[in-house]
Amino acid sequence: MSLAIPSSRVLYYALLSRILLLSLIATWRFLFRPYDTSASLNPPCLSTSNQSQPYDQILWPRVASAIESSVVWDGVYFVRIAECGYEYEQTYAFLPLLPISMSLLSRSVFAPLVPLIGYRAVLALSGYILNNIAFVFATFYLYRLSNLILKDSAPALQASLLFCLNPASIFYSSIYTESLYALFSIGGLYHLLSGSSTLAMLMFALSGSARSNGAVNAGYICFMALMQAIGAFFQKKRPLLAVGVLLAGFLRSAFIFAPFLLFQAYAYLNICRSGNREPRPWCQAKVPLLYGFIQGHYWGVGFLRYFQIKQLPNFLLASPTLSLAIGSIIFYTRLLRDNFVPSSLLEVKSKERNRCHDSVSTSDDMASSKGVSMLRQRRSERAPGECEPTTQISNQKKESDPNVILFLPFILHLAFMTFTAFFVMHVQVSTRFLSASPPIYWFGSHVLASQNSSYRRWGYLIMVYFVMYILLGSLLFSNFYPFT
């Protein structure tokens, strides 16, 4: 096990990555003219809640114009919602945590800036500051979580550094929900595995208030409840305790889904029961869920709906992220398989090893992720049918070895997200949709640390991919060109 690495070092790297990225954005904005300049247009709110001032009524109009013109793509929606509320049906696709947070900050911490640059610019500035701070703490939580799972600070630090350079970095420093989602998802995972189930539940609920897929984090609560229930029933012989654990897990999962469902109810009351407009088709459905209707009606999201020849460039754009996700799933699935081999297969292995006079114990073959890579490397170098060399390995599991079963919920979650990204969503969104999945960075750190020459080549490609997407993203996205 490596020496402990101070958390302040991780925070320093995360902060440095944001400074470098923001500097890149400013450079590209200075050198190139945005493709679309309509983001700076700001028509009055439909209601009377508009607090924006004309430029001739603020002290620093150029600063205000620069900040407002930097808001692009979905950021335009978030700023508009924070300023005017949910005015149109399609705006309900954007969940409320980020706009509410921006509005609160603009009316409190950053309120003194309103006379200087105007309310809308203050809203945008609040979003930028909030998301960059959230990213720094998300990186911190990823390091703590990685240390908890991998039981080794070196790969934990490397995974955190990869996260700082992830291909979707531009979205974590823009007015998007990626930073808040990552903070509350990864933070919730850390607290859940540290034993703070209530705090984890609250953080997961907040992640579901930022992005719809945050509600899927309830699966981690269910997994931990199931593991505890199995232990209570089979080891402690306390069936009532097992039932109580399962019931508590169900209630916590329902709490995590509650923010998303309450927001759907809020949309239903505003649109279907307001009496100010004609009933919309989704209002008549048995389950009037607006979110699914918006995704299909306005954005064309649906199973296999994106499988068109004209979308081939977008599949190519998403292929590096999808490949990395699939590689992570395969690697950790094999790790789980090798640790939980059925007894019949273990007997076959034992006979083969006896035939080869190998005294290696089957219970330790995959004691740690570091040992896995070394063992697989040695096996790959042997000729087919060649016996393993005689090795003595202790049967006792070390405290520094990772608990391999904990990889299972991460892999199930990543597999579900990958399937959804490829078959249901706009596939190019995969780059940011999967960017908060810890196994991707754990696998990346494993590949980079491997002594295997082929793995090293893949590690080089991973780094080239990360750096290239940061450069392209900061150039294209910030200038209102399409990017994932």
Q: What is the pLDDT of residues 294-306, one digit of tens each?
A: 999 999 999 999 9
Task: Please enumerate in sequence order all residues whose Cβ is within 8 A of that of 433, keeping only pairs 6 or more positions apart, or say none.
Answer: 213, 417, 420, 421, 425
Structure-token match 């999967």, residue found: 434
Range from 47-56, 213-222, 333-342, 365-374 carrying the lowest mean pLDDT: 365-374
428 vs 21: CA distance, rounded Å: 21
In this prediction, residue 380 carries a pLDDT of 45
In this prediction, residue 52 carries a pLDDT of 65
Q: What is the pLDDT of residues 204-218, one digit of tens each?
A: 999 999 999 999 999
The residue count for the chain: 484
Rg (CA), the chain: 25
Residue 187 CA neighbour count, 13 Å, CB half: 22
Please state the rounded mean pLDDT for residues 3-18.
87
- What DSSP line would sit under 414-448, residue for residue? HHHHHHHHHHTS-GGGHHHHTTT-HHHHHHHHHHH
Q: What is the pLDDT of residues 81-129, one digit of tens each?
A: 999 999 999 999 999 999 999 999 999 999 999 999 999 999 999 999 9
pLDDT at 360 over 60: no
Q: Which two tokens stand for residue 153?
A: 């600070």
Range from 129-143, 285-299, 350-364, 419-433 carrying the lowest mean pLDDT: 350-364
In this prediction, residue 48 carries a pLDDT of 63
Residue pair 365/373 in contact by the 8 Å Cβ criterion? no
∠ CA 68-17-332 to the nearest 5 degrees?
115
Using alpha carbons, select from 87, 180, 80 the residue that is nearest to residue 135: 180
Please state the rounded mean pLDDT for residues 379-394.
43
In this prediction, residue 6 carries a pLDDT of 75
Structure-token match 């028509």, residue found: 43
In this prediction, residue 269 carries a pLDDT of 93
In this prediction, residue 358 carries a pLDDT of 44
Please state the rounded mean pLDDT for residues 269-293.
87
Residue 154 CA: distances (Å) to CA of 1, 435, 445, 456, 477: 8, 21, 9, 17, 33
In this prediction, residue 481 carries a pLDDT of 86
| b/e per residue 277-311 (b: at least 16 CB within 10 A) | eeebebeeeeebebbbbbbeeeeebeeeebeeeee
Residue 385: band (very low, low, confident or very high) from pLDDT cuts 50, 70, 90 = very low
Residue pair 21/174 in contact by the 8 Å Cβ criterion? no
33 vs 69: CA distance, rounded Å: 11
Please state the rounded mean pLDDT for residues 199-207.
98
Q: What percent of the chain has pLDDT over 90?
A: 70
In this prediction, residue 308 carries a pLDDT of 95
Tell which phi-psi region holds residue 275, choosing left (phi > 0), alpha (psi between -120 and 50) or beta. left
In this prediction, residue 386 carries a pLDDT of 46
Residue pair 201/221 in contact by the 8 Å Cβ criterion? yes
pLDDT at 142 over 60: yes
pLDDT at 379 over 90: no
pLDDT at 283 over 80: yes
Burial of 181 per CB tally in 10 Å (0-12, 13-18, 19+)? buried
37 or 390, greater pLDDT? 37
Q: What is the pLDDT of residues 405-426, one digit of tens each?
A: 999 999 999 999 999 999 999 9
441 vs 53: CA distance, rounded Å: 45
Residue pair 71/124 in contact by the 8 Å Cβ criterion? yes
- What DSSP line would sit under 23-52, residue for residue? HHHHHHHHHS--S--GGG--PPPSSS----
In this prediction, residue 381 carries a pLDDT of 44
∠ CA 285-286-287 to the nearest 5 degrees?
90
Residue pair 136/91 in contact by the 8 Å Cβ criterion? no
Using alpha carbons, select from 69, 74, 70 the residue that is nearest to residue 22: 70
pLDDT at 383 over 50: no
